[in-house]
Amino acid sequence: MGTESLNSPGYDIPPEMQSQVAITTLDKIYNWSRKNSLWPMMFGLACCAIEMIGTAASRFDFSRFGMEVMRPSPRQADLMIVSGTVTKKMIPQIVRLYNQMPEPRYVIAMGACASGGGPFKEGYTVVAGVDKFIPVDVYIPGCPPTPQALLHGFITLMKKIETQSLRSVPWYQKTPGEPIPIPILGPDLMDPRKFDLIKQVCSQREEQRNTEPEGESTHE
Ligand code: SF4
């Protein structure tokens, strides 16, 4: 990559020095280095993961973007590619992995399943989109998305990183962000963030049952 793309407009660098010298802002160089060294976490959930593996292999080869180091540990990864169907059984593990990733961290929802449930939407075992639990930066449509679509998703994420500023990124704020509560798998999946609402609805129903004349209770 040449230094031209790093240069901030407004600074005149003599033509003979343009390939060696760049005058830029801290934001620009910080974002430039981060976007060109994203390390994805090595995990896959379903058929979309095969396309992700194909994208890593020689024909498409995402190491061209500085991403060849797929990390088996979330503590060394800054990109989570949710590649496949997110089941209710799996989402507690996904949230735990997300919490274990250090900031800055990004999430790509790869394919219809990860983005919104896909062909299994409303299925009793499936979460209708991973964004119900963790924040998603880029959604990639398709069932499955092709490697080209995944590469386009990476480029879209890089463009998003380019727009971030050290002054406003969440990981440099005075109060650090709270980890996301791990969903609880019971008879059904519960999001601990919604406990107050769940309690309220349950007590309303209980009250309703108690005030109904005997024999007229409705089963919900
Ligand atoms: S989006 Fe399609 S290809 Fe991807 S995991 Fe779901 S069913 Fe499989």
Q: Is 190 exposed, middle or buried (0-12, 13-18, 19+ CB in 10 A)?
A: middle
Ligand 1: residue whose CA is nearest its atom 7: 143
Ligand 1 neighbours (beta carbon < 6 A): 46-48, 84-85, 111-113, 118-119, 143-144
Nearest CA owner, ligand 1 atom 6: 113
Max CA separation in the chain (angstroms): 92
Nearest to 161 by CA among 39, 38, 42, 75: 38
Residue 185 phi/psi, 5-degree rounding, is: -95, 110
pLDDT one digit per residue (tens) for the chain, 220 residues: 566 677 777 677 788 887 788 888 888 899 999 999 999 999 999 999 999 999 999 899 999 888 878 999 999 999 999 999 999 999 999 999 999 999 899 999 999 999 999 899 888 899 999 999 999 999 999 999 999 999 999 999 999 999 999 888 888 888 877 888 888 887 777 777 888 888 888 888 888 888 877 665 555 5
pTM, two decimals, is 0.84
